């Protein structure tokens, strides 16, 4: 009968570890050259530029969907003013300017018994004034005989005014009243209850009886058409 030899514990443990190591080598050989996926920490450590600085984290892509611009609600013009008694429009004469061949305005600004009169104070140097002119002309056409446009220039330089009128197309503003700086302008603005150096453009809304019913400051926008149509439709 053969006697069984008992190996020390440390020898048995080392043997088993060697076997496990051998199995690991076999598994690695089976997997070929496949490399393990780097961890997030390893990826960050590898993201280094040629200068030795960490590469910048790319910003998230901006949304390509444009958000709609909210529309401004149409403003209400002359609120609370139309129910008050108006002041008569001045009957003082004013200077006039017109392009060659254009129909000149009358010597006096007279109201129309058949329509409302929209008096536009403007100047050739005023960008908002020039931008709104085609819009006002279009409004006058849409409202037929209910609205009449009158332009009153507050230019100091007559040459600048004349050059502007000459450059306008046949459908543009080619004739205008012109309040020269001094007594003429002062009397007109005082009668209309407009400050001496008004914001331009400024507008007077005159009823068929020739009374000023309201004043509007600032440029007229497309959205103002409905409000103007309500005024002249009273």
CATH code, domain with 106: 3.40.30.10
- Domain assignment present for residue 43? The answer is no
What confidence score (pLDDT) does residue 3 get?
46
For residue 9, tell me if it sits in a domain: no
Is 61 inside any structural domain?
A: no
Residue recorded with tokens 């600004």: 109
Asked whether the beta carbons of 199 and 110 are under 8 A apart, the reply is no
CA–CA distance, 111 with 150 (Å, rounded to integer) = 10
Share above pLDDT 70 across residues of the chain, in percent, rounded to a whole number: 70
Please check whether residue 144 lies inside any domain of the structure: yes
Question: CA of 159: how far to CAs of 90, 121, 180, in Å?
Answer: 26, 18, 12
Per-residue confidence (pLDDT) for residue 75, from 0 to 100:
84
* pLDDT higher than threshold 60 for residue 143: yes
Residue 200 belongs to a domain: yes
Domain assignment present for residue 152? The answer is yes
pLDDT at 38: 52
> Above 50 in pLDDT, residue 216?
yes
Domain range enclosing 130: 87-232
45-103 confidence digits (pLDDT tens): 454 444 455 555 555 565 566 677 766 677 889 988 998 889 999 988 899 999 999 99
- pLDDT of residue 174 exceeding 70, the answer is yes
Which residue do the tokens 């037929």 mark? 144
Rounded to whole angstroms, the Cα distance separating 83 from 139 reads: 23
If one compares 203 and 109, the residue with the highest pLDDT of the two is 203
Can you spell out the DSSP letters for 80-144?
TTTTSPPEEPP----EEEE-TTSPPPPSS----TTSEEEEEEE-TT-HHHHHHHHHHHHHHHHTG
In the chain, how many domains are there? 1
From 11-20, 150-159, 223-232, the region with the lowest mean pLDDT: 11-20
pLDDT bracket for residue 111 (50, 70, 90): confident
Q: Taking all residues of the chain, what is their mean pLDDT, rounded to a whole number?
A: 81
- CA gyration radius for the chain? 42
| Structural domain contains residue 23 | no
Report yes or no on 21 lying in a domain.
no
Altogether, the residues listed in the chain come to a count of: 234
Q: What is the mean pLDDT of residues 132-151?
A: 96
């Amino acid at each position: 009968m053969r006697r069984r030899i008992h190996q020390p514990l440390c020898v048995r443990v080392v043997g088993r570890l060697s076997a496990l190591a051998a199995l690991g080598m076999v598994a690695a050989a089976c997997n070929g050259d496949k490399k393990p996926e780097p961890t997030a920490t390893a990826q960050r450590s590898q993201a280094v530029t040629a200068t030795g600085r960490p590469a910048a984290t790319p910003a998230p892509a901006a949304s390509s969907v444009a958000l709609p611009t909210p529309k401004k609600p149409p403003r209400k013009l002359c609120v609370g003013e139309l129910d008050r008694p108006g002041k008569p429009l001045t009957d003082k004469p004013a200077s006039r300017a017109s392009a060659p061949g254009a129909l000149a305005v009358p010597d006096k600004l007279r109201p129309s018994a058949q329509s409302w009169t929209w008096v536009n104070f403007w100047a050739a140097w005023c960008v908002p004034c020039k931008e709104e002119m085609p819009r006002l002309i279009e409004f006058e056409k849409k409202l037929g005989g209910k609205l009449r446009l009158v332009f009153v220039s507050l230019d100091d330089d007559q040459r600048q005014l004349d050059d502007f009128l000459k450059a306008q197309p046949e459908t543009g503003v080619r004739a205008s009243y012109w309040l020269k700086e001094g007594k003429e302008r002062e009397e007109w603005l005082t009668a209309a209850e407009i400050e001496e150096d008004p914001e331009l453009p400024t507008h007077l809304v005159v009823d068929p009886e020739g009374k000023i019913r309201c004043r509007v400051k600032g440029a007229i926008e497309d959205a103002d058409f409905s409000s103007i149509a309500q005024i002249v439709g009273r």
